[in-house]
Amino acid sequence: MRENNMNYRGLNFLLLSGLLTLANPILAEEVIKKDVNAYLCEANTQHQLGEYDAAFASYTEVIKLDSQEASAYNNRGIIYYARGEYGLALADFEQGLALEPDNVYLANNRLVVKYELGEKEEVKEELRELLGLHSGIAEIYNNLGAVYYELGDYDTALKGYAIALKLNPDLVNIYYNGGILYSVLGDNEQAMKGYTKAIELEPELAAAYYNRGAIYEQLGDEQQAGEDYDKAIGLNLKDEKVINNRGVIYYRAGEYERAGGHFEKVIELNPELPEGYNNRGAVYYNLGEYEEALRDYNQALKLNPEVGEIYYNRGLVYAMLGEKEKAIAEVEKAGEIFGNQENLAGNEQVEIFLAALRNGEGKISSPMAILSPPHQVIWAMIEINKFYCK
């Protein structure tokens, strides 16, 4: 069988496309099997074209016509997974495995869902067992590396990615996941190489542009970071993280109106994300709209009361409103959080601010904008025999 890569958010999925052998002489059964083949052909084509709702309906029709077709359960399970319906995805993968207990692709996909359901240690052990039976599948090594990464065992994760790379040097997810790992290890050069190679292999991988942009930003190259963020936004208009970070670059450049527009969009897309409110509050502060800024900081702290930057920023507002004691209390709270995080830069700003409040010494900085974190591991989906339509 021929294998082809397809990327999804989540662990490696192995997409099966089955072809029924028309061997039964009974005409009615032949007609049913022809219909099954037609729906499978249509479903796999729709899946490849990204027409997931249509593909879902076609796979469901296959299951109605032939409840023994394991590939239809597998492929429909993948769509359930992409929708975040993990329970239904797991049920489909387990039904497929009941029909084909030795099917490595179904076994892999079942473990993906179990991972999302929080069974990380169990998934790690089952993936290792799966590799004992099928040691030549790059995607499973990639998955194992991803699990070890999530568990904080970076050395073992790197080994898993290295083996996957030897087995399939064109698997884009290995380079992307390697970029994430090297970034955590502080090796920005290797991380940059990983993301750049991932983009070379898959130019529409928005997450790679976003994460590479975050590295450019760390390195102080905000122009290149902005270009990568713009590319990511162009590929995914609903990614609140990249929209937030693009807004931060505008904010730092003093382009408050453009920054504010981005933060408004972040809040629209995800009203539970504290960065959106904090950063819009920073824009309001710089425009002299202190009451609006205070409302946004209050909302941000309701969503996450453990962010030092928000207390610092709220302290700035209280200072501008003449409420000195409140301002000092806020900034001291920020210092406590920064101390626990070993955030030296944050603590330095706190000391400057407190000196200015207490003694009139030093210059108070502008509010701190908060960047969204990089995207985490994304994984490959494998389609097998995508096209065998007759």
- Are residue 185 and residue 51 in the same domain, yes or no? yes
Instruction: Check: CB of residue 284 under 8 Å from CB of residue 292.
Output: yes
Q: Pull the structure tokens for residue 207.
A: 């997450």
- Are residue 353 and residue 380 in the same domain, yes or no? no
Residue 364 lies in a domain: no
- Are residue 23 and residue 62 in the same domain, yes or no? yes
pLDDT at 386: 40
Per-10-residue mean pLDDT of the chain, 390 residues long, equals 43 50 41 70 85 92 90 91 92 95 90 87 90 87 90 94 95 94 95 97 94 94 96 91 95 96 97 96 96 97 96 95 94 95 91 86 75 68 46
Residue 48 lies in a domain: yes
- Are residue 216 and residue 339 in the same domain, yes or no? no
pLDDT at 120: 84
Residue 88 lies in a domain: yes
Residue 240 lies in a domain: no
Instruction: Check: CB of residue 65 under 8 Å from CB of residue 35.
Output: yes
- Are residue 327 and residue 379 in the same domain, yes or no? no
User: How far apart (Å, rounded) are the C-alpha atoms in residues 198 and 205?
Assistant: 8
> Residue 290 is part of which domain span?
274-359
pLDDT at 378: 54
- Listed in sequence order, the residues at least 6 apart from 208 whose beta carbon sits closer than 8 Å to its beta carbon are 176, 179, 195, 198, 199, 202
State the amino acid at position 312 in one-letter form. Y
Closest CA to 80 of 13, 144, 17: 13
Q: Pull the structure tokens for residue 88.
A: 């239904």
- Are residue 184 and residue 302 in the same domain, yes or no? no
Residue 264 lies in a domain: no
pLDDT at 213: 96
pLDDT at 238: 87
- Are residue 330 and residue 379 in the same domain, yes or no? no
Q: Number of structural domains, the chain? A: 2
Say how many C-beta atoms besides its own lie within 10 A of residue 141's C-beta. 26
pLDDT at 12: 60
Cα distances from 13 to residues 31, 88, 177, 196, in angstroms, run 31, 15, 15, 23
User: How far apart (Å, rounded) are the C-alpha atoms in residues 75 and 56?
Assistant: 8
pLDDT at 22: 33
Q: Pull the structure tokens for residue 304.
A: 């996450």
- Are residue 17 and residue 142 in the same domain, yes or no? yes
Phi-psi region of 344 (alpha: psi -120 to 50; beta: other; left: phi over 0): alpha
- Are residue 204 and residue 279 in the same domain, yes or no? no
Residue 254 lies in a domain: no
Q: What is the pTM of this model?
A: 0.80
Q: Pull the structure tokens for residue 230.
A: 């713009």
Instruction: Check: CB of residue 39 under 8 Å from CB of residue 33.
Output: no
Q: What is the CATH number of the domain that holds 342?
A: 1.25.40.10
User: How far apart (Å, rounded) are the C-alpha atoms in residues 168 and 157?
Assistant: 16
User: How far apart (Å, rounded) are the C-alpha atoms in residues 155 and 27?
Assistant: 59
Residue 202 lies in a domain: yes
pLDDT at 21: 33
Instruction: Check: CB of residue 17 under 8 Å from CB of residue 44.
Output: yes
Residue 60 lies in a domain: yes
- Are residue 212 and residue 355 in the same domain, yes or no? no
